[in-house]
């Protein structure tokens, strides 16, 4: 099993008055670049420490015009980490393909990160939330079409010698011949995160791509994995643990009092629809799921999972700290109390990859560093032993081309035979 870490990099500035309930449409007039500079360097320092304690993968995220995520251009941070780390996998989950009009630029950027890191990039791709399309004036009706075409273009750019011409519906390039290609062959693994949209899960199964479910709730995650299993059978293969990843909020601390204080900070700070209660003053669903963005089947699943309130249309992923800890949406405590609860998650979901989501909301640098230390000393070794016992294999522990489309993988294997 691959054990990673994730943090949204939330805005934190108590003096601005924004460290509580916050609308998704707050003006950036409240942004203080001096505070931002300190936060960026703090978060990067924490990422570097993660490699020291044994975290195997650093998950990054990208949102735009949203205070709960400062990673508006996640590839900038990835490039820094590519140079300053040496072992950890770099996992952007991910780059929102539909909002960019130049996927060639993205293919080149990711190629550089893969080369600088000596082949440690996992190229996560997403459709992006509605706020990304809104902020970049992209018609959400074409979101999935643009995602699919940009994906196909990037894969061809990485695997087909140029120059070639691309004339698609949404992208046109007269001359594709980048002098910058990934170190990993046939290309870096592709992973896709999501909240269990049936269309996205089917698309992932068709491409044999691992699917990483966010946010961490047991039953919706299990339903999403079961759906992947079924769709994998329909396209002709049996999905394994290597095709399934999940993100769960886990904080470890020196004692239960500190753990509860830090754990409650998941639900403080600037508003995050994935980890705090939703209401009309915070994050209206039309900002995250604008017209044309989601199919009826996807909306039906959101309503069934109670991610969206059918009466108000607001996001409501979590309720309160007590409920969240009871249903394991938030796991916070000492190693003695956290490890058994993590085992329950692993036994029930059987993921090959898990990202522990920590250091978010209003958590301080000290909260995060204490937790990371205990991750390295206690949690990661224990989780590794559990994974061996439960036979949970990550995509990097198999040789089946996980994260590579079948046709591309078959062509690559044939080329290897010819070279041999």
Nearest by Cα to 45 from 75, 83, 84: 84
Q: Which residues, including other chains, have CB under 8 Å from residue 239's CB and lie 6 or more apart?
A: 205, 228, 229, 232
> From the CB of residue 219, how many other CB atoms can be counted at a distance below 10 Å?
10
The helix/strand/coil state of 32 is coil
The answer to whether domain 2-419 has CATH 3.20.20.30 is yes
Give the pLDDT mean for 264-269: 86
pTM: 0.91
Residue 309's pLDDT band, with cuts at 50, 70 and 90, is low
- For residues 238 and 318, the answer to whether their CB atoms sit within 8 Å is no
> From the CB of residue 277, how many other CB atoms can be counted at a distance below 10 Å?
18
Q: Can you give the residue ranges of every domain in the chain?
A: 2-419
| pLDDT attached to residue 64 | 80
Looking from the CA of 308 toward its CB, the CA atoms found within 13 Å total: 17
Token readout for 99 is: 């909002």
| pLDDT attached to residue 281 | 45
| pLDDT attached to residue 301 | 64
Query: Cα(332)–Cα(371) distance, rounded to whole angstroms?
Result: 10
Token readout for 119 is: 């082949």
Give, rounded to a whole angstrom, the gap between the first and last alpha carbons of the chain.
31
Residue 24's pLDDT band, with cuts at 50, 70 and 90, is low
Give the pLDDT mean for 394-400: 95
């Amino acid at each position: 099993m691959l054990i990673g870490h994730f943090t949204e990099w939330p805005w934190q500035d108590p003096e601005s008055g924004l460290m509580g309930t916050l609308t998704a449409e707050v003006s950036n007039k409240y942004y203080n670049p001096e505070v931002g500079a300190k936060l960026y360097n703090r978060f990067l320092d924490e990422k570097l420490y993660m490699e020291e304690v044994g975290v195997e993968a650093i998950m990054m995220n990208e949102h735009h015009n949203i205070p709960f995520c400062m990673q508006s251009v996640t590839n900038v941070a990835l490039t820094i980490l590519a140079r300053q780390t040496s072992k950890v996998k770099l996992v952007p989950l991910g780059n929102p393909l539909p909002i960019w009009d130049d996927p060639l630029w993205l293919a080149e950027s990711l190629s550089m990160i893969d080369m600088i890191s000596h082949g440690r990039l996992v190229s996560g791709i997403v459709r992006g939330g509605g706020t990304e399309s809104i902020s970049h004036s992209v018609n959400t009706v074409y979101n999935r079409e643009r995602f699919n075409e940009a994906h196909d273009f990037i894969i061809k750019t990485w695997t087909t010698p140029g120059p070639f011409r691309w004339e698609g519906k949404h992208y046109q390039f007269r001359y594709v011949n980048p002098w910058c290609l990934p170190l990993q062959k046939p290309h870096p693994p592709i992973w896709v995160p999501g909240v269990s949209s049936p269309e996205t899960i089917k698309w992932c199964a068709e491409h044999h791509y691992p699917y990483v479910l966010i946010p961490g709730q047991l039953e919706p995650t299990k339903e999403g994995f079961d759906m992947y299993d079924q769709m994998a059978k329909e396209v002709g293969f049996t999905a394994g643990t290597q095709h399934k990843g999940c993100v769960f909020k886990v904080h470890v601390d020196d004692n239960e009092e500190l753990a509860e204080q830090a754990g409650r900070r998941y639900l403080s700070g600037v508003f995050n629809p994935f980890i705090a209660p939703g209401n009309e003053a915070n994050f209206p669903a039309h900002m995250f799921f604008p017209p044309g963005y989601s199919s009826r089947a996807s909306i039906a699943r959101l309503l069934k999972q109670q991610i969206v309130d059918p009466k108000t249309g607001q996001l409501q992923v979590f309720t309160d700290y007590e409920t969240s800890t009871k249903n394991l949406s938030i796991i916070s405590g000492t190693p003695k109390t956290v490890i058994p609860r993590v085992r329950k998650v692993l036994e029930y979901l059987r993921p090959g990859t898990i990202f522990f989501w920590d250091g978010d909301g209003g958590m301080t640098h000290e909260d995060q560093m204490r937790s990371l230390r205990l991750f390295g000393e206690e949690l990661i070794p224990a989780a590794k032993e559990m994974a061996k016992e439960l036979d949970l294999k990550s995509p990097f522990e198999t040789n089946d081309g996980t994260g590579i489309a079948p046709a591309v993988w078959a062509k690559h294997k044939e080329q290897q035979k010819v070279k041999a």
